Amino acid sequence: MQKKLLTLAVAGALAAPAVAFAQVTVYGTIDGGLRNQSKVIVGAGEESVLDMTEGLRTTNRWGLKGSEDLGGGLMANFTLEGTYSQESGDSLDGFDRKALVGLSKGGNSVDLGRDYTVNFKANGIMDPMSFSYTGITTTAGATFTAGTRSNDLITAGFRFGSSGIRVDYALGEEANPALASGDRVGIGADFAFGPVTVAGAFSVQETAVNTDTTTTNLGAAYAMGPFTFRGGVNMAEVDGGNEHMQWMAGVQFAFSPTLNGRLGYYNWTVDNTAGTEIATRKTLIVALDYYLSKRTTAYVAFDRHDLSGAATGLSATSQAGVGAAINGRSLNDGATGISAGLAHSF
């Protein structure tokens, strides 16, 4: 009798329709270390400060991502990604980095929600540090006028071989006008030709009534043996406002499979409506990454910042819309920093 029941159960299971379950992955990074920085403004004087840091090389983040096979190569996808503090353990602003749902098939995709802008994506190809050490450099954040991410974003991506085109549109309209952030539309592309990859992006965002900000990114990367050279320019103009320009150049060198060196230089300037330069910030960074494993990296970095005009004495709150503090500190002209830490991905 028991054998008959077992046979019926197995037969029923085999006859049941197959059920496809979504695959969900938990992932993230944790980065902590020490940093000594000179010329920190304390009261009316200047001091060097040594303290524990987080997210200098890799932003501390955690997230959930998953997909479901809908058949015929069509996939349903989602990503939820947030930021947290390694020093305190606090989770910051929920899923402030990404909150996406979308569909994909092959190299084509459509996503809805909070995501990276096309300008940010293009900038990653030309950035000498490849979007690492963003806690030190001016590549992303307040000085990146196109914005790192946008809310209410509709993004379509099309990949063909090693190249691709990406367009996005952010809905600025809200039921509550006080929440409106302005429409934003952008297009970006990257094309690979052997060892050379070129990238560019252009976007227009309504930042106020009858006021637009246009941002353009152009750059390239060139791989030559153990060297990878990267460089480019970011340009932004606000109707009736300041003009921003940042150019960058640098090189990465693979000393061995486990040791990688990086050198980057960033020159960022702001002109007012009269064409007068009101702020400059020049950043030099040299870094070494030692890969203890595929997931764990020990690093050390040296950086120097030369500031003038409104960029001098940057505070935690940006002055005149021209920048923000590095690692939450204020700076004077000629400030230097030495950092060392450990980054792990999971």
> What pLDDT, in 10s, does the model give residues 115-150?
999 999 998 899 999 989 988 886 654 445 566 888
Tell me whether residue 8 is in a domain.
no
In one letter, which amino acid is 76?
A
Coil, strand or helix at 213: strand
Tell me whether residue 256 is in a domain.
yes
Between 97 and 311, where is the model more confident?
A: 97
pLDDT for 318: 38
Tell me whether residue 158 is in a domain.
yes
Tell me whether residue 3 is in a domain.
no
Between 151 and 27, where is the model more confident?
A: 27
Tell me whether residue 59 is in a domain.
yes
Domains held by the chain: number: 1
The pTM (predicted TM-score) of the whole model is 0.83
- CATH number of the CATH domain containing 204: 2.40.160.10
Tell me whether residue 17 is in a domain.
no
Which of 320, 231, 247 shows the shortest CA–CA distance to 281? 247
pLDDT for 317: 35
* Measured CA distances, 269 to 87, 225, 244 (Å): 33, 33, 6
Q: Over range 66-83, report the average pLDDT.
A: 95
Whether 186 contacts 212, CB under 8 Å: no
| pLDDT at residue 190 greater than cutoff 80 | yes
pLDDT for 274: 85
Tell me whether residue 10 is in a domain.
no
Lowest mean pLDDT among 43-52, 67-76, 79-88, 208-217: 43-52
Tell me whether residue 101 is in a domain.
yes
Find all residues with CB under 8 Å of 259, minimum gap 6, and list them. 288, 289, 290, 291
Rounded Cα–Cα distance for residues 155 and 199 (Å): 18
229-281 pLDDT tens trace: 999 999 988 888 888 888 999 999 999 999 999 999 999 888 888 888 888 88
Residue 108 domain boundaries: 26-345
